[in-house]
Amino acid sequence: MPGTDAQIVGAVLGGDTEAFGVLVDRYQERCLRLALHIVGSREDAEDAVQESFLRAYRYLGGYREQEKFAAWLYRILVNQCRTLLARRRRLELPMAEWEWDVAAASDAGVENGALRAELTRALDLLSPDQREAVVLRFSEDLTYDEMAAITGSGTSALKMRVQRACARLRRLLLEGANA
């Protein structure tokens, strides 16, 4: 079904539930990538994406055409990821490492897998706020204004988080390369 996001939203609100599948097709992969980098676990990322789309559907009436649908959806997704991370902190489950080991093993090249594992190890050592900010900034190439709309944080705070995250990541990646 062709159309802009707003047109599809209108169709869904008009009763065409299946039209929502177009939005799922359009944003599922990007949402999964974003969630994966924020939460570090494939299983949690899929849960976050599924729950986010369901919430987006339920509250679709709250979407306003002036806003990019992707940004609106990302806001829901980031909140879901935060919830998952908070729950995991309570559980203290060391799941990220083996999840990514599996992903790395399935990579076409061992080198790519090693890079990804290295990056993931470094991301795991960031604070949740820093990790979220740096992923939004670089994975999705968002502006700070867009990030502010998604996270609810101010642009100055986000810039500071990204700067600190970058500095720490560079140091961690350098240590990993020299290890």
Residues that bind other proteins (CB under 8 A): 12-13, 15, 17-18, 20-21, 24-25, 28-29, 32-33, 36-37, 42, 46, 49-51, 53-54, 57-62, 83, 87, 90-92, 103, 106, 112, 115-116, 119, 134-135, 137-139, 141, 159, 162-163, 166-167, 169-170, 173
Nearer to other proteins, 4 or 93 (CB): 93
- Contact criterion met (CB below 8 Å) for 19 and 12: yes
71/173 with CB nearer other proteins: 173
CA distance 160 to 86: 22
Tokens, residue 168: 């720490």
Q: Are 120 and 100 in contact (CB under 8 A)?
A: yes
Quick one: 2 or 14, whose CB is closer to other proteins? 14
DSSP letters, 115-149, are: HHHHHHHHHHTS-HHHHHHHHHHHHS---HHHHHH
Residues 147, 101: Cα–Cα separation, whole Å:
30
Least distance in Å: CB of 179 to other proteins?
A: 16
Would you say 75 and 55 are in contact if contact means Cβ atoms under 8 Å apart? no
Whole-number Å distance between alpha carbons of 71 and 68: 5
Nearer to other proteins, 60 or 148 (CB): 60
Q: At closest approach, how far in Å is the CB of 89 from other proteins?
A: 9
Residue 100 or 149 with smaller CB distance to other proteins = 100
- Cβ at position 142, least distance to other proteins in Å: 12
Tell me the closest approach of the beta carbon of residue 68 to other proteins, in angstroms: 18
